[in-house]
Amino acid sequence: QVQLVESGGGLVQAGDSLRLSCAASGRTFSSYAMAWFRQAPGKERDFVAAISWSGGNTYYADSVKGRFTISRDNAKNTVYLQMNSLKPEDTAVYYCAADTRLRVNRFYDYWGQGTQVTVSS
């Protein structure tokens, strides 16, 4: 069992940077792959980035490659999403997810409550 809580969202201008954090609780956090998804109003929840339990493998959606970086600190039970060069189209609720293996679809077992990111032009 894993519980996830996102933080770090807010209102920024286009071109700014923001770092999201996802704090996990549970005895086996380091055994889980982690991912970030985002969902704008009226739209599907889309994959953003994922990282393996060891941190050795990462995957990114084409829309964020070169701008976003996912990382994890297993000692702190935390996964991060560093977002640079933000664009208005990045505006969404960002969700943290966890599962026993890395995947790039929406079939993760555990989800956080989401944190709002708004990018103004």
Q: Position 54: which residue type?
A: S
Name 97's bridge partners: 35, 111
Distance (Å, whole) CA 47 – CA 95: 10
Weakest-pLDDT range from 13-17, 24-28, 32-36, 96-100 = 24-28
114: Cα within 13 Å, side-chain hemisphere: 12
Q: Tell me the pLDDT tens digit for each residue of 43-85.
A: 999 999 999 988 889 999 999 999 999 999 988 989 999 999 9
Q: Which tokens is 69 given?
A: 């970086």
Using pLDDT thresholds of 50, 70 and 90, give the confidence band for residue 101: confident
Strand positions, DSSP E, the chain: 3-7, 10-13, 18-25, 33-39, 46-51, 58-60, 68-73, 78-83, 92-99, 110-111, 115-120
Residue 41 confidence (pLDDT) = 92
Residue 109 sits at the vertex; the CA angle it makes with 27 and 34, to the nearest 5 degrees, is: 65
